[in-house]
């Protein structure tokens, strides 16, 4: 059987899931692929692309149909992220954060009024972003310095957030701040902050190694006024909201890195069949065959981990351990596959005229954001040791 980029474990999908994946993959290859190089160079999404993501229904996958969404599953979100990432992980991260973090947080923690106000907009035209990290709180996410103060009619937020994915595109932000620093993590509270709120500014955009189409910016909160109705959950419950949503988000990052690996592998196979040395395609050399076979095997293992974690989440079963394992393992697969893709391309893989070097750059962030690899190992150790 000839290996193709579609040969990995799709038999695990139902007919509807397979059709959904194929539809998103076709959209990515037809509409996004021609824009990848220019978006990477210009460090921004192409005009109109976000609107196309909304039109295709990719920004409201789990939002109930009565609120304007598709009424799909978490697994559907994972499939969409995987399919988009085969072409451009920088586009996929916007869909990932929007669905797995922002929409899920509102579904789980929002009031009825908040869900009815925001979910139709998140499904139709408003991208969401998730603002937890700060300069002094990366892996130690809850050493945050952003402060919230109760005032007449709501809250006042002061502080800065860093490395916020999709900040330029987003219209709604889930912002974490502490009401009572003395209470430690029990003082952390989540707020819904609209772009354009008084005292809220999207600041400097980072110049990144990879996923350059996705904006990553600081947020400046200078006396930002947030109405009481925009409190997400109860005061002091921000820690719980963040932990639960990030557990889901880590599966999304696994899907992003899985799609990246599949995309890089597909390009490596095609190039190996086309590139001739010593009178024949390099795909006929055993060393290249073995490299492609090893890449395919790692991708298959990664896919099973991602799919298993997502299925557990949808089934209401415990999945924290599996999510952490996925977040730890799959970015490593993506890095190795992307690196090997560069080597299959040889000198052509080291220049920007080929797709190999971009996959290689994009892969690195998978081991960093939404919980570093070391933090995942710490979580896994606690889970397996019962601590």
- Residues marked as catalytic: 370
Token pair in block for residue 240? 């719980």
Please state the separation of Cα 345 from the chain's center in Å: 27
From residue 382, give the alpha-carbon distance in Å to each of 321, 369, 374, 377: 9, 20, 13, 9
What is the rounded distance in angstroms from the CA atom of residue 226 to the CA atom of residue 154? 6
Which residue, among 383, 241, 247, 262, has the nearest Cα to 326 in the 3D structure?
Answer: 247
Neighbours of 51 (CB within 10 A): 11
Phi, psi of 351 (to 5 degrees): -120, 160
What is the rounded distance in angstroms from the CA atom of residue 165 to the CA atom of residue 187? 25
**Contacts of residue 188, Cβ cutoff 8 Å, sequence gap at least 6:** 142, 144, 176, 177, 178, 179, 236, 238, 239, 242
Cβ-count burial of 33 within 10 angstroms (0-12 exposed, 13-18 middle, 19+ buried)?
A: middle
| DSSP category for residue 198 | T
Q: Are 260 and 298 in contact (CB under 8 A)?
A: no
What is the rounded distance in angstroms from the CA atom of residue 123 to the CA atom of residue 172? 12
Token pair in block for residue 338? 């992307």
Residue with token string 């799919």: 307
Angle between helices 320-345 and 286-314 (to 10 degrees): 160
Q: Which residues on neighbouring strands pair with residue 222, listed in sequence order?
A: 158
Classify strands 170-178 and 127-131 as parallel, antiparallel or unpaired: parallel
From residue 212, give the alpha-carbon distance in Å to each of 93, 164, 253, 262, 365: 11, 13, 16, 19, 11
Q: Are 134 and 157 in contact (CB under 8 A)?
A: no
């Amino acid at each position: 059987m000839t290996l193709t980029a579609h040969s990995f474990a799709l038999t695990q999908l139902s007919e509807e899931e397979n059709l959904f994946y194929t539809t998103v993959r076709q959209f990515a290859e037809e509409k996004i692929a021609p824009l990848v190089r220019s978006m990477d160079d210009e460090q921004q999404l192409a005009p109109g692309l976000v609107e196309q993501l909304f039109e295709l229904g990719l920004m409201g996958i789990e939002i109930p149909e009565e609120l304007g969404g598709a009424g799909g599953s978490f697994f559907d979100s994972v499939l969409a992220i995987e399919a988009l990432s085969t072409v451009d992980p920088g586009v996929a991260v916007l869909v990932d954060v929007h669905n797995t973090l922002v929409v899920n947080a509102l579904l789980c923690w929002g009031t009825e009024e908040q869900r009815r106000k925001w979910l139709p907009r998140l499904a139709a035209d408003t991208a969401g972003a998730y603002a937890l990290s700060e300069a002094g709180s990366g892996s130690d996410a809850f050493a945050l310095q952003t402060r919230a103060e109760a005032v007449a009619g709501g809250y006042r937020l002061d502080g800065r957030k860093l490395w916020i994915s999709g900040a330029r595109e987003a219209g709604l932000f889930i912002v974490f701040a502490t009401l009572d620093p003395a209470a430690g993590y029990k003082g952390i509270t989540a707020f819904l902050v609209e772009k354009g709120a008084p005292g809220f500014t999207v600041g400097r955009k980072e110049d990144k190694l990879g996923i350059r189409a996705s904006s990553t910016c600081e947020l400046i909160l200078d006396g930002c006024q947030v109405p009481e109705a925009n409190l997400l959950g109860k005061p002091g419950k921000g820690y719980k909201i963040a932990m639960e949503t990030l557990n889901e988000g880590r599966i999304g990052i696994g899907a992003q890195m899985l799609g990246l690996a599949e995309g890089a592998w597909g390009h490596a196979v095609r190039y190996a069949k086309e590139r001739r040395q010593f009178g024949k395609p390099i795909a006929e050399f055993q060393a290249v065959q073995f490299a492609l076979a090893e890449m395919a095997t790692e991708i298959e293992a990664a896919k099973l981990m991602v799919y298993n974690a997502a299925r557990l989440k949808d089934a209401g079963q415990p999945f924290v351990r599996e999510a952490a394992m996925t977040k730890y393992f799959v970015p490593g697969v993506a890095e190795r596959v992307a690196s090997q893709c560069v080597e299959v391309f040889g000198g052509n893989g080291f220049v920007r005229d080929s797709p190999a070097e971009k996959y290689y750059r994009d892969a690195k962030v998978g081991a960093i954001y939404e919980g570093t690899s070391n933090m995942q190992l710490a979580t896994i150790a606690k889970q397996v040791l019962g601590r």
